[in-house]
Amino acid sequence: MPDGRRHTPISAEEIKKKQVRADTLEDLHRVNVGLRSTNAEKWEVFARGRGWALNTSKNGFFYTQNDIPSVIIERMSNGERRYFFGY
């Protein structure tokens, strides 16, 4: 990852169980925070290099949900969702 940490890809088991591991949540938190940082270009390259779609928030910043299906995100608590998206 652009911050020097190792990325842990989402596992098929997480998708199957419709629940993400703490490592996956932490990775996406760091990526989404990075996409709103002063070094956003590095994070855009990182996300796009993995084939992740980048979406634009209503505030004009990029965010991603990696390959995590929306059904998993919808099952998260509000606090987990906010953390996931980097708030």
* 57-84: pLDDT as tens digits: 888 889 998 778 888 888 888 888 888 8
pLDDT of 81 = 85
Half-sphere exposure of 55 (CA within 13 A, CB side): 9
The per-residue pLDDT for range 12-46, each reduced to its tens digit, is 888 888 888 888 888 888 999 999 999 999 999 99
pLDDT of 34 = 94
pLDDT of 42 = 95
Q: Residue 1: inside a domain, yes or no?
A: no
| DSSP assignment letter at 24 | H
Q: Residue 67: inside a domain, yes or no?
A: yes
Range of the domain at 51: 15-84
Pull the structure tokens for residue 44.
């855009």
pTM: 0.81
- d(CA 13, CA 46) in angstroms, rounded, equals 24
CA-nearest of 75, 59, 73, 74 to 29 is 73
pLDDT of 37 = 93
Q: Structural domain tally of the chain?
A: 1
Q: Residue 2: inside a domain, yes or no?
A: no
